[in-house]
Amino acid sequence: MAGGIEIRAAHFPGRAPIDAYGNGGFRFADMSHRGSLLCLPSGIYGWVAKDVDSLAEEDFARLLDEAGEIQILLVGTGQTLKPLPQGLRQRLQVTGMAVEIMSTGAAARTFNVLLAEERAVAAALIAVD
């Protein structure tokens, strides 16, 4: 595209702890990201999720592609703990991952601990204000 700006999907090609969260986004690896995140073995990706109620299997497609490398999936559901839609929770569990649902703050803190322990962890974190 000559002379235009190319918008690329947000992606950090590595593993990094979450340094801060809130104000609608996250800080990690000396960067900030506005919006939700998927923290996977292949890197950290911007994620379109805004709330738990609207989540569907297709929102986890990238994560499901890497499920064989993940033992623990932490799902941060926003400001408070909210259950995942039943069908989605079942779909995630059949992959063999342990799926832990918690508030985004608790999920980010737990992700950091498990990452420091070099565990096979991933996180799906819904941004909070």
Strand-pair category, 36-40 with 43-47: antiparallel
User: What is the mean pLDDT of the segment spanning 7-28?
Assistant: 87
The reported pLDDT for the residue numbered 7 is 45
Where are the domains positioned within the chain?
Answer: 11-125
Per the model's pLDDT, the better-predicted residue between 19 and 6 turns out to be 19
46-77 pLDDT per residue, tens: 999 999 999 999 999 999 999 999 999 999 99
Beta strand residue intervals within 23-109, DSSP E: 25-28, 31-34, 36-40, 43-47, 72-76, 98-102
The reported pLDDT for the residue numbered 110 is 98
Categorize the per-residue pLDDT at 123 as very low, low, confident or very high, splitting at 50, 70 and 90.
very high
Q: What is the CATH number of domain 11-125?
A: 3.40.1230.10
The reported pLDDT for the residue numbered 9 is 62
Categorize the per-residue pLDDT at 4 as very low, low, confident or very high, splitting at 50, 70 and 90.
low
Is 90 within 8 Å of 100 (Cβ atoms)?
A: no
Is 52 within 8 Å of 126 (Cβ atoms)?
A: yes
pLDDT of 106 higher than 70: yes
Any residues with CB less than 8 A from the CB of 76 and at least 6 apart, and which? 102, 103, 104, 105, 106, 107, 108, 123, 124, 125, 126
Predicted TM-score (pTM) of the model is 0.91
